[in-house]
Every structure is written in C-alpha cells, then in structure tokens.
C-alpha cells in the first residue's frame, strides 16, 4: 500500500502537462481513499475493539468515482487527437518545428533537433535561421509568403553536408491573420544519393552500350577472320600464332562482358557506410602482389559510398601492380583537409603517368587491356560525389587522390588508425 501511494504521488509530481497532472492527481486521490479506508478497517477499528465493520468497499467506491470522473472530465485512458497530439509530435520520424512570424522557434520535436544536428533544448526559443544557411532561410520566407511551400532542400549548418527537405505552411489565428509557420523537416541525403546513382547510371549506360557493342563486334569480327585462316591453313607453320591471337581475342570479349556486368551494378544496391581500413586489408590479401609491399596507413574512418567500393580498391591496387612497372611498394594513406574533406591516397613507386595522359586514363576505352578500369572507379565514386584524380610525377610513381566530401565520411572511435599489410 505504501508503494502504491509512492507511485501515485511520484506520477502526479512528475507530470509536465496540466491535463496529465490532473489525471494523476485523481488517481492518487483514489489510491489514498482505498488505503485510508483499508487502514481504518484493518488497524484503527480493531484497535478500539470493533472487528465486524469493513469499510474497504467505501474506498473502492470513491476510487471508482474518481476514475470515472477522470475519464469523463480529463479523458483518462482515451486516445483523442487533443490528448495524443504531443505524443504524436514527439515520436514522429519527421522533424516538426513551429515558429512565430519572426522565425523564432516555439515548439520542436526530437527528430527536428537530430536533422539540424543540435540538441532539442538548443532549438527552443532560437531563431530558425540560426540553423540553416542565410540564402536558404530567405528562400523559405519568400516561399512561405504564398501560404505553403514544399521540397525546399537545405544543408543544415551543423550536419556536415547532410541534406534536409523542408515543407511548410502558414498558421493563422482566429481572425485569419498569420501567426507563424509549421515546418516539416526530412533528411533526404540517402534519397539524393540514390537519385544521383540512378541518373548517373542512365547517362552512362547509353554510352557504355554503344562503346561495348562496338568493341565486341570488332573483336568477334577479328576472331572470325583468324578462325577462317586457321581453317584454311591449319597445316601452315603460322597456325599456332593465329590460334594464339584467336584466344587473345576471345579474352578481350570476356573482359568487355565482365565489365558490362559490373558496370550495370553501379547504384543498384545503393550506398552504405563502409570502413576503409579493414576493406583495404581484406582486398590486399586477396590480390596477388608478390614482391610488392602494401602499406595501409589510414585513419579510423568510414566512407559513405556505393557498395561497389571494394571493386574500386581492387582496381586501384591491380592497376598499380599490373601497369606500374617495377613497383615495390604501394602506400594507402588518409589526411583531413581543412577539417572538412578527407583525402584518400593510393601512391606507388612505379613508372607513373605522363602529364598528357592524366585526364585520359579516366576515359572509357583508354589504356591497356579493356581500358575501363579507372573509368569504372570514377563512376562508382561519383555516386556519392566523391572525386578522383592522378597527381603523381611521371617516372617517380602514380598517385591517385580520392577527395571525399564532408557528408561522405565520418570518424570511427576506438579503432587503431594504422594498419600494415605484409608482403
């Protein structure tokens, strides 16, 4: 009984809203009635010699009456829009902000604080323009004058490049005069990345289909010609050379088809946060690199990139090993630029890339073998606005710099920042 009294009293004292306080007060009073009359029947009356009177039913009657009154007067146990609106606002996944006509925040939920990258308590009473770029706030105010607006995209000041979509409408008072704004915020960063991937895939697939079809047609024509020669001169001493060329041509066809299959996957599975250090270690263990030391000196970070990122790492390492000449070491490092961007570098001590080829190596069909490896790397990274360029010195080694924008990388706490991959 003492525990019931304590629970009822605590609930009443902790209630923040007036309706809840009144509901809990009535429940607490009902519990007091039951406990009080029970105490009379079980302790007070027997103490003076009365053992036959039981007053507990009076306490139960009073408790029932108080609960009934709470249900009717204060909608206890009743879910109505009026009673549930604050709970709905606090639990909704989208951010909600209510401001006055000057843009000062008077009501907010936890989702809005998360989207804006601040704590909920830091939002209340603050001007909304404090949390978004000035030009974006001007656009919102200009659009709001029309009564409502939708899908205005902004980059919150404290969210490292995350993108938020804002919908809003003017709130009018009893006399239909504007009283403030209701703003609905939604984080659309993942959706924008998916849209970019889809658009990129559509643009590139058309080009890829033309280039790949042309190259495969040429390879098949050459193969047919070589096989005709082999058929007519199968006893000629040059037949082994013709057969070797036929096999090489078939290999070229296979490379084109393999690339086409991989390229179609760009953007298909979406982007995800991926830890770059362990990924480098795993891929270096899978690729053949006899006599080549691979140093994995990367910070404990995750990169938000297309799920084909392992293919990017593999292609960069394979490109250095196969085409770098006498490569003895490949170094993978990271560095933070201006506390904003992250630079991921793949550097080797091979022959490097000539200045006139630095831009061409990322074009389709340029280079050795299929000529698609670095073009594939560029397009996979572009899904989440990550760029790549070659900045090495010819004759001293290749250096591929991958520039990762702030919204596409983050720190991992508690990880070893340096890893080394043995020969």
Task: Assess whether 134 and 166 both reside in one domain.
Answer: yes
Nearest to 344 by CA among 410, 299, 402: 402
Residues 137-171 have pLDDT tens digits of 888 777 777 778 888 888 887 777 788 899 888 88
| Mean of pLDDT values over 386-412 | 93
Residues 328-371 have pLDDT tens digits of 999 999 999 888 899 999 999 999 999 998 988 888 766 655 55
Joined tokens for residue 315: 């292609």
Task: Assess whether 112 and 177 both reside in one domain.
Answer: yes
Task: Assess whether 91 and 183 both reside in one domain.
Answer: yes
Q: What's the rounded Cα separation, in Å, for the pair 228 and 240?
A: 13
Task: Assess whether 111 and 176 both reside in one domain.
Answer: yes
pLDDT, position 68: 77
Q: How many domains does the chain have?
A: 3
Angle, alpha carbons 288-270-347 (nearest 5°)? 35
pLDDT band at residue 30 under the 50/70/90 scheme: confident
Top-confidence range, 20-24, 284-288, 384-388? 384-388
- Evaluate whether residue 398 is within a structural domain: no
Q: Are 399 and 347 in contact (CB under 8 A)?
A: yes
- Evaluate whether residue 315 is within a structural domain: no
- Evaluate whether residue 393 is within a structural domain: no
Residue 422 has pLDDT above 60, yes or no: no
pLDDT, position 10: 80
Task: Give the bridge partners for 167, in sequence order.
Answer: 184
Nearest to 337 by CA among 292, 375, 299: 299
Comparing 292 with 58, the larger pLDDT belongs to 292
- Evaluate whether residue 104 is within a structural domain: yes
pLDDT, position 420: 44
Distance of CA 299 to the CA centre of its chain: 20
Task: Assess whether 125 and 183 both reside in one domain.
Answer: yes
Q: What is the mean pLDDT of the chain?
A: 80
Residue 112 has pLDDT above 70, yes or no: yes
Task: Assess whether 203 and 171 both reside in one domain.
Answer: no
- Evaluate whether residue 15 is within a structural domain: yes
| Mean of pLDDT values over 90-102 | 87
For 37, the domain range is: 2-78
pLDDT band at residue 300 under the 50/70/90 scheme: very high
Residue 419 has pLDDT above 50, yes or no: no
Residues 369-388 have pLDDT tens digits of 555 678 889 989 998 999 99
Task: Assess whether 208 and 164 both reside in one domain.
Answer: no
- Evaluate whether residue 229 is within a structural domain: yes
Strand ranges inside 264-349, DSSP E:
271-275, 293-297, 301-306, 329-337, 341-348
Task: Assess whether 71 and 23 both reside in one domain.
Answer: yes
Task: Assess whether 206 and 243 both reside in one domain.
Answer: yes
Task: Assess whether 170 and 199 both reside in one domain.
Answer: no
pLDDT, position 264: 63
pLDDT, position 330: 95
Top-confidence range, 45-49, 63-67, 305-309? 305-309
Comparing 26 with 210, the larger pLDDT belongs to 26
Q: At what angle do helices 18-39 and 56-74 cross, to 10 degrees?
A: 170
Write the CB contacts of 197 (distance below 8 Å, at least 6 apart in sequence).
266, 267, 270, 271, 306, 383
- Evaluate whether residue 236 is within a structural domain: yes
Residues 190-236 have pLDDT tens digits of 888 888 877 777 777 766 766 776 677 777 777 777 777 776 666 55
Mean pLDDT is lowest, of 66-75, 228-237, 376-385, 394-403, for 228-237
Q: What's the rounded Cα separation, in Å, for the pair 297 and 294?
A: 9
Residue 423 has pLDDT above 50, yes or no: no
Comparing 80 with 110, the larger pLDDT belongs to 110
Task: Assess whether 150 and 244 both reside in one domain.
Answer: no
Comparing 54 with 119, the larger pLDDT belongs to 119
């Amino acid at each position: 009984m003492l525990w019931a009294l304590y629970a009822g009293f605590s609930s009443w004292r902790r209630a923040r809203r007036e309706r809840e306080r009144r509901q809990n007060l009535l429940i607490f009073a009902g519990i007091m009635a039951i406990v009080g009359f029970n105490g009379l029947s079980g302790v007070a009356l027997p103490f003076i010699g009365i053992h036959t009177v039981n007053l507990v039913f009076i306490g139960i009657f009073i408790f029932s009456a108080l609960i009934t009154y709470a249900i009717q007067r204060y909608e206890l146990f009743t879910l109505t829009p009026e009673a549930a609106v604050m709970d709905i606002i606090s639990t909704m996944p989208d951010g909600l902000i209510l401001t006055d006509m000057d843009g000062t925040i008077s009501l907010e939920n936890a989702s809005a604080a998360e989207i804006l990258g601040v704590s909920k308590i830091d939002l209340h009473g603050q001007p909304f323009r404090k949390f978004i770029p000035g030009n974006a706030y001007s656009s919102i105010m200009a659009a709001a004058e029309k009564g409502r607006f939708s899908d205005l995209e902004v980059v919150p000041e404290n969210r490292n490049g995350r993108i938020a979509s804002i919908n809003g409408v003017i709130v009018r008072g009893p006399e239909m005069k504007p009283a403030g704004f209701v703003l609905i915020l939604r984080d659309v960063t993942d959706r924008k990345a998916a849209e970019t991937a889809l658009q990129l895939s559509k643009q590139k697939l058309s080009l890829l289909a033309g280039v790949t079809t042309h190259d495969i047609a040429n390879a098949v024509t050459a193969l047919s010609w070589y096989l005709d020669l082999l058929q007519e001169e199968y006893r000629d001493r040059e037949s082994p050379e013709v057969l070797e060329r036929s096999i090489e041509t078939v290999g070229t066809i296979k490379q084109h088809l393999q690339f086409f299959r991989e390229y179609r996957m760009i953007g298909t599975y979406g982007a995800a946060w991926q830890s770059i250090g362990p990924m480098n270690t795993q891929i270096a263990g899978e690729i053949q690199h006899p006599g080549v030391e691979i140093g994995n000196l990367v910070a404990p970070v995750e990169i938000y990139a297309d799920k084909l990122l392992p293919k990017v790492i593999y292609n960069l390492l394979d490109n250095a090993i196969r085409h770098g000449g006498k490569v003895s070491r490949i170094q993978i490092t990271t560095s933070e630029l201006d506390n904003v961007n992250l630079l991921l570098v793949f550097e080797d001590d091979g022959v490097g890339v000539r200045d006139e080829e630095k831009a061409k190596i990322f074009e389709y069909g340029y280079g050795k073998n299929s000529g698609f490896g670095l073009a594939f790397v560029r397009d996979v990274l572009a899904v989440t606005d990550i760029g790549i360029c070659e900045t090495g010195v010819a004759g001293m080694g290749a250096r591929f710099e991958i520039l990762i924008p702030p919204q596409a990388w983050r720190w991992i706490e508690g990880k070893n920042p340096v890893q080394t991959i043995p020969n």
